[in-house]
Amino acid sequence: MTLAQLIVATFIALSFSSAGLAAPRDNASAAVHAGSEGGPACGDLLLDLQHKPPHLEFVGCRADVLYGLKALVADYQVEGRYAAAVEGYFIKVAHLPALGFYCCGWDSIGKVGRDGELHEGALSFEVSMGSGETLVNRREDWSRIPLFHVGVTRYLEEP
């Protein structure tokens, strides 16, 4: 394997893990139980926030440990033909960076970071969007991508 191939493989593994949306996971993630001990329940976070755009389908929610912090992560998907509308919605309400094609897929990587942010009172939620691996590299061809993935993360702890 050449150095360039190794760099590309590393980029793909880091950028597109868990459909291109999840942060590195800690082994302690099994110890987090959302909704137990009076903690917040895991569910359709965008529906709860009244920020769920049309065509975005809730896939599931999980308790996890990301970057050493307990978190709730809600996963969503949208068909490629509706992805531009969902992207536009989150650009407007969450300041999500516009998706760009990087190496092998579409991802919301901006100048400052890759996530948008929604606020509800004192709570904040990170929003990210990506396609996973694809060779489709033109926006006008997004309808050829079966699904785009959206992740919404609510951290339950502060660093």
By the 8 A CB rule, do 20 and 108 touch?
no
By the 8 A CB rule, do 148 and 83 touch?
yes
What pLDDT score was predicted for residue 14? 37
pTM: 0.76
Statement: residue 72 has pLDDT above 60: yes
For residues 25 and 95, give the distance between their C-alpha atoms in angstroms, rounded to a whole number. 25
Per-residue pLDDT band for 109 (boundaries 50, 70, 90) equals confident
**Annotated domain spans of the chain:** 3-155
Reference 148, options 76, 47, 100; nearest CA is 76
Question: Residue 87 CB: number of other CB atoms within 10 A?
Answer: 23
Instruction: For the chain, give the percent of residues with pLDDT over 70.
Output: 74
Residues 44-57 pLDDT 10s? 999 999 999 999 99
Out of 8-17, 61-70, 81-90, 127-136, least confident range: 8-17
Residues 2-17 pLDDT 10s? 333 333 333 333 343 4
